[in-house]
Structure 1
Amino acid sequence: MAHRIVTQVVVTGARVFGRAFAEAYKQASASSKHSGKNGKAAAFTSSGLTLDEACKILNVKPPQAGEANIDSAMERFKKLFDLNDPQKGGSFYLQSKILRARERIEMEVRQAERKVAEEAELKEGWKPKVYKDR
């Protein structure tokens, strides 16, 4: 009698777990298909912010053609980050949003710099560094 109850519990648990796993897989598959269609937006899901949102949070202009006034963005970041310090009565949530906005803008600037460097290298040609033994 006890083995029947234990077997039913195990089988029912396996069914529930299997259905939950299948549903999670369907949602993940649909999410990845949706991200693939958006293309550019899919690359920025790690920070959770788009460039426009980051610029609005820090109240700076978006980088134009890879050039951004990074100094003004850093000044705004420092000011807003310090104002929202939880020990001074600020909000940890806002402070973390400000940090993510700064990281997002820095990421955009780094990508632009990398692209400019690649274009310059293509224009000049590859020039390997040769080291001679003495």
Structure 2
Amino acid sequence: MAHRLVAQVVVTGARVFGRAFGEAYKQAQAKGKYAAAAQKGNSGTVNTYASSGLTLDEACKILNVKPPQGGEANLESVMERFKKLFDMNDPQKGGSFYLQSKILRARERIEMEVREAERKAAMDKELREGWNPKVYKDR
């Protein structure tokens, strides 16, 4: 009877371990494919996962704000939500450091998206209008 129980425990443990290993392998494969696509410069996958594994959609959901439209976001509302949620999750007040970290990363992700859009808009403007250096004259 004991040998049956031991065999059953070993078989069940092997199944659980096998499934976990299989899932980890699938995730590693997907991450490798994603990294390869991002390295090649696929515009559909680049920069969606840039800041600590958060997509822009996830960051907006965490802070409960609307995603930036055309690279413009209401950064005041983002900062207001960030401060409120960050203070609510202060570990010294009984909050969660993990949630506080997620909130911080979400704000950084949204800000990064807005900065990238501003940089691209400035570059496009410069290409359209040409480069006009500022010249300072001595008096």
Identity of aligned residues (%): 75
Deviation larger for 118-127 or 50-59: 118-127
Query: Pick from 88, 93, 111: which aligns with 1:83?
Result: 88
Unaligned 5+ segments in structure 1 are: 1-27
Deviation at 1:131, TM superposition (A): 3.7
Aligned to 1:105: 110
Question: CA 1:105–1:87 in 2, change beyond 3 Å: closer, same or farther?
Answer: same
Are the aligned partners of 1:66 and 1:113 in contact in 2 as well (CA < 8 Å)?
A: yes
Instruction: Give deviations 1:28-68, integer Å, cap 9, x for gaps.
Output: 89844432225454533442101000000000000011111
Instruction: State how many pairs are aligned.
Output: 108
Are the aligned partners of 1:54 and 1:101 in contact in 2 as well (CA < 8 Å)?
A: yes
1:36 equivalent in alignment to 2:44: no
RMSD: 2.4
What amino acid does structure 1 have at the position aligned with 2:123? Answer: E
Match of 1:126, SS?
Answer: coil
Aligned equivalents of 1:61 and 1:78: distance in 2?
17
Query: Pick from 120, 130, 134: which aligns with 2:135?
Result: 130
Residues 1-134 of structure 1 aligned to structure 2 (within 5 Å): 31-37=31-37, 39=42, 40-43=44-47, 44-132=49-137
Aligned equivalents of 1:84 and 1:123: distance in 2?
46
> In proportion to residue count, which structure has more helix?
1
Are the aligned partners of 1:36 and 1:42 in contact in 2 as well (CA < 8 Å)?
A: no
TM-score after normalising by structure 1: 0.70
Match of 2:35, SS?
Answer: helix
TM-score after normalising by structure 2: 0.68
Are the aligned partners of 1:41 and 1:50 in contact in 2 as well (CA < 8 Å)?
A: no
Are the aligned partners of 1:51 and 1:104 in contact in 2 as well (CA < 8 Å)?
A: yes
Unaligned 5+ segments in structure 2 are: 1-27
Aligned equivalents of 2:94 and 2:30: distance in 1?
41
Aligned equivalents of 1:103 and 1:46: distance in 2?
7
